[in-house]
Amino acid sequence: MRFVHEGDPRYGEPELLKGNEAICEGAIWAGCRFFFGYPITPQNQIPEMMSRRMPEVGGTFLQGESELASISMVFGAAAAGARAMTSSSSPGISLMQEGISYLAGAELPCVVVNVQRGGPGLGNIAGAQSDYLQAVQSGHGDMRIPVYAPGSVQEMYDLMGEAFETADRARSPVIVLADAMLGQMAEPMQRRIDEPPPPPPKPWALTGARGRPRNLLTSLYTIPDDLEAHNREIDARYQALATEICRAAEYRTEDADVLLVAYGVASRMCQTACDLLRDRGYAAGLLRPITLRPFPAERVVQLAERARLVLAVEMSMGQLVQDVRLAVLGRCPVELLGRPGGNYSTAPDVVAQVIHLLGG
């Protein structure tokens, strides 16, 4: 077996970790020392592990009285200039929308992990991707929040470092959008053994106005011109980073005229489906967005231009497909294979759908 980072001196020996545990270790490597959260399945291993690990690394773990409080505690630690995070699952993330918006408004960095479960309402605890649209439009107000979508336990680990770095640079909350399957599955992964890059200076942090003018972190701008300028400033910071942080992975796309688009755990079924389709004579390839915001629209367009079929495969009722259609803008048909409720399409399901759509 080959590992993603085999031979890379920055990484240690392979070890077996659950996705939720990899989130914790990735955050700790990135220098996160403040965790606030509230129990909810299927992400409970994260607060449980953090309650043990944070004191070990000189950090703070606190179980908040609710998700509303937990994300506001993150606001406080972030305002102090610390790297802080929380994690939850779909219903809890709904409650955190308030805090995410206030963090964005006060231009504060943090990382919010959503280990998605089935919805709406209490739904169930099976893996789902039904919070895609909520994630890419996190919080009320007119701002864009970067969203990372890991597809393996290794990426659950790796993307935490990227998420914290992006959060600091964008001065914005960053969402890591996983799901129950990724959180609960154990896979071999390698952790970093080098030092993380130092976080940027945070002259805006609240540390007491000693020897400097006081700092004020607020999302309140009563004059429309001021709020518009504030919105534009937040957007400019995001746009300046967008091209650089936008990421996607590809599988067998070099000559593909059947393009599958899927993220997270759904992409793994699609990868197998590409092999199965190629065995049957279809030139199938997969584009897997790793950032959902910014969405890798340009690459979708490049690959769609030579495709006779684009199929979005998702564990939801047609959310990712909206971004794909928006990117393609009618250049070719974009179809959807989506299953909600904690269900998913298997590789043979994907194969059958492609053959059906191509009239085979």
Partner 1 sequence: MAESVKVAYAAPECMIDQTMHYCPGCTHGIAARLVAETIDELGIRDRAIGISPVGCSVYLYDYIDCDFAQAAHGRAPAVATGLSRALPDCVVFTYQGDGDLASIGTAEIVHAASRNERMTVVFINNAVFGMTQGQSAPTTLLGQRTSTSPRGRQAKGEGYPLRVSEMLATLEGPTYVARAALGAPKYVTQAKRFMRRAFEAQVIHGGFGMLELLSSCPTYWGMTPAEAMRWLEEGMMAYYPVGEFVDRRDRETSGSVREGGEGLRVSDR
Residue 324: CB minimum distance to partner 1, A: 34
Q: Is the Cβ of residue 216 or residue 326 nearer to partner 1 in the bound state? A: 216
Q: Is the Cβ of residue 59 or residue 342 nearer to partner 1 in the bound state? A: 59
Q: How many CB atoms lie within 10 A of CB 41?
A: 14
Instruction: Show Cβ contacts of residue 262 under 8 Å, excluding neighbours closer than 6 positions.
Output: 269, 270, 286, 288, 312, 313, 314, 320
Q: Which two tokens stand for residue 219?
A: 């999302």
Query: Are the C-beta atoms of 237 and 173 separated by less than 8 Å?
Result: no
Residue 54: CB minimum distance to partner 1, A: 6
State the Cα–Cα distance between residues 214 and 259, nearest whole angstrom.
Answer: 54
Residue 12: CB minimum distance to partner 1, A: 25
Residue 16: CB minimum distance to partner 1, A: 27
Q: Is the Cβ of residue 222 or residue 243 nearer to partner 1 in the bound state? A: 222
Q: Is the Cβ of residue 2 or residue 214 nearer to partner 1 in the bound state? A: 214
Q: Is the Cβ of residue 66 or residue 343 nearer to partner 1 in the bound state? A: 66
DSSP state of 288: E
Residue 33: CB minimum distance to partner 1, A: 8
Residue 42: CB minimum distance to partner 1, A: 24
**In the block, residue with structure tokens 């950032």:** 291
> Strand order in 248-251's β-sheet?
248-251, 284-289, 258-261, 309-314, 334-338
Residue 65: CB minimum distance to partner 1, A: 4
Query: Are the C-beta atoms of 20 and 88 separated by less than 8 Å?
Result: no
The kind and range of the H/E element at 149 are: none
CA distances from 72 to 64, 79, 316, 351 (A): 9, 10, 29, 45
Query: Are the C-beta atoms of 189 and 14 separated by less than 8 Å?
Result: yes
Q: Is the Cβ of residue 171 or residue 325 nearer to partner 1 in the bound state? A: 171
Phi, psi of 276 (to 5 degrees): -65, -40
Specify the 3-state DSSP secondary structure of 187.
strand
Q: Is the Cβ of residue 72 or residue 353 nearer to partner 1 in the bound state? A: 72
Phi, psi of 158 (to 5 degrees): -60, -40
Amino acid (1-letter code) at residue 201 = P
Residue 68: CB minimum distance to partner 1, A: 6
Q: Is the Cβ of residue 55 or residue 348 nearer to partner 1 in the bound state? A: 55
State the Cα–Cα distance between residues 360 and 161, nearest whole angstrom.
Answer: 45
State the Cα–Cα distance between residues 213 and 166, nearest whole angstrom.
Answer: 27
Residue 174: CB minimum distance to partner 1, A: 17
Q: Is the Cβ of residue 33 or residue 191 nearer to partner 1 in the bound state? A: 33
Judged by the rule CB under 8 A, the positions of this chain that interact with partner 1 are 34, 36, 54-56, 58-62, 64-66, 68-70, 72-82, 84, 98-99, 102, 106, 206-211, 214-220
